[in-house]
Amino acid sequence: MVKQRAYTSYHRCEGVIGEDLDLRELQQSGRIGRIKVELNSEGGKSQGTITIPCSLDRTETAVLAAAMETVDRVGPCAAKITLEKLEDVRKEKRKRIIERAVDLLRDWEGEVSPDSQEMTDTVMKESRTAGIVKLGKEKLPAGPDAETSNTIIVVEGRADVLSLLRSGVKNAVAVEGTSIPKSIVDLIKSKTVIAFLDGDRGGDLILKELAQLAKVDYVARAPTGREVEELTHKEITKALRNKIPAGQVLGKTIRKAKAPVKVTPKAKRRGRRPTAQKPKETRQRTTRSTKPDTLRTKEHPKVKKKPKDLGIPKAVLDSSQKIQQTMMASILDNDLKQLKETHVGEIANELQKQKNAQVLILDGVVTQRLIDIAEERGVELIIGVRIGNIVKKPAKMRIHTFDELRQ
């Protein structure tokens, strides 16, 4: 009976707010719960409270409440409905749940075991940290197999060693900066060395410093702009698989640094520089004859004229000097102005984008693939560290090395 009265009151606003908010439809779909009406009669008048639980959103709930206030009759009697409050019961329930949960945690503190995710994170963290050892007096972070393995991977920092450990690589050691510690030099004397470097300027500096102090056999690089510690297992595996000989990166064969005792004999064998100076002193003493002087004055101009005989403009020579030992490459246009400067590893892709390329200068090896791309883009002059195995050389293209420019 009470429920029917609620329906009667609500039906008086039907047709005003649309069929989608019909009370029966909402109850059948479960969006309106059981309507509760509490009546209290005094002095021939009845007052009551209507409670309508719903799962509508805020807008629909507000429309429904406003519609209820438009009802002016309940059955045969005049009536007035006033909204007392809109209450988010779920919010209150959540609040009570949180408060109760806090109380339970306080009572249970120290007795609750960690969840599975926390246990997994802890185990992974401990296993990675436990796998790192410290080498040398500098206590450099390294993998557990760094000392015993025949191959060693040199990286920049501790985070890189951890990243390799995650991928199962246990023979890495970190230099911890651009200054190469003596422990690294002693460790890699009799090992195959792979320099695994970040794809930024810092990686270039470390490689250059390492090559001056020790032997480097191969170089692996992270993608340009990324660091080794950011790479996934798949990316690390790919980078190590695609390592290239260090000589191709540096532009010359990197020789292992020798101990001071070994350097002295080699210096003596090569150095016959003192004996090379003696003829100069002898020539100075025997300058009475004009023939030696004439010969000397003829020899020196020939050495100076040789770059001019190559027909290379001064702007190109200046650019070549700037590019050397930087592991960079430069593309010049017809006016010998720089179109693009990039890392030698990206020069093939960058060259394909250029339309007015005329000169290519790179601190790397001139390969057949690079020559083919340069021919397509109209390049007429290439200058590099050395020339690789060239099968086909375009007739209109000139290729020189930095050494030829110095002669």
Query: Rounded to whole angstroms, how far apart are CA atoms 159 and 198?
Result: 12
Q: What is the mean pLDDT of residues 120-148?
A: 75
DSSP structure string for 266-296? HHHHHH-HHHHHHHHHHHHHTTTSHHHHHHH
> For the chain, how many structural domains are there in total?
4
Same domain for 238 and 321? no
Q: Is residue 226 part of a domain?
A: yes
Query: Rounded to whole angstroms, how far apart are CA atoms 202 and 205?
Result: 5
Same domain for 146 and 236? yes
CATH number of the CATH domain containing 228: 3.40.1360.10
Same domain for 223 and 280? no
Residues above pLDDT 70, as percent of the chain: 75
pLDDT at 104 over 70: yes
Same domain for 233 and 276? no
**Which contiguous run of DSSP H or E holds residue 145?**
none
Same domain for 291 and 358? no
Query: Rounded to whole angstroms, how far apart are CA atoms 264 and 266?
Result: 5
Same domain for 135 and 245? yes
Q: Is residue 288 part of a domain?
A: yes
> Of the candidates 249, 174, 187, which has an alpha carbon nearest to the alpha carbon of residue 218?
249
Query: Rounded to whole angstroms, how far apart are CA atoms 376 and 260?
Result: 50
Query: Rounded to whole angstroms, how far apart are CA atoms 381 and 28?
Result: 83
CA dihedral 239, 245, 247, 249 (to 10 degrees): -20
- Residue 304: pLDDT band (50, 70, 90) is very low
Q: Is residue 102 part of a domain?
A: no
pLDDT at 68: 80
Secondary structure of residue 260 in the 3-state scheme: helix
Amino acid identity, position 240: L
Same domain for 193 and 287? no
Is pLDDT larger for residue 111 or for residue 247?
247
Same domain for 289 and 358? no
CATH number of the CATH domain containing 372: 3.40.140.20
Same domain for 246 and 148? yes
Averaged pLDDT score across all residues of the chain = 76
Amino acid identity, position 194: I
Q: Is residue 304 part of a domain?
A: no
Q: Is residue 357 part of a domain?
A: yes
Beta-carbon contacts of 175 under 8 Å, excluding residues fewer than 6 positions away, are 140, 154, 155, 156, 181, 184, 206, 210
Same domain for 231 and 280? no
Same domain for 230 and 270? no
pLDDT at 381: 92
Q: Is residue 303 part of a domain?
A: no
pLDDT at 253: 39
pLDDT at 290: 46
Q: Worst-scoring range by mean pLDDT, 25-39, 51-65, 117-131? A: 117-131
pLDDT at 308: 46
pTM of the model: 0.35
pLDDT at 299: 46
**What is the domain extent for residue 166?**
130-250
pLDDT at 331: 92
Amino acid identity, position 316: V
pLDDT at 78: 81
Q: Is residue 97 part of a domain?
A: no
**Buried (b) or exposed (e) across 80-90, using 16+ Cβ within 10 A?**
ebeeeeeeeee
Q: Residues 315-334: pLDDT tens digits?
A: 888 888 888 888 888 999 98
- Neighbouring-strand partners of residue 362: 329
pLDDT at 300 over 70: no
- Residue 407: pLDDT band (50, 70, 90) is low
State which of 196, 215, 250 marks the end of a domain: 250
pLDDT at 359: 92
**Buried (b) or exposed (e) across 303-324, using 16+ Cβ within 10 A?**
eeeebeebebeeebeebbeebb
Q: Residues 42-99: pLDDT tens digits?
A: 877 888 888 888 888 888 888 888 888 888 777 777 888 888 888 887 778 888 899 8
Q: Is residue 208 part of a domain?
A: yes
Q: Worst-scoring range by mean pLDDT, 18-27, 125-134, 228-237, 287-296? A: 287-296
pLDDT at 109: 61
pLDDT at 383: 92
Same domain for 161 and 62? no
In eight-state DSSP terms, residue 230 is G
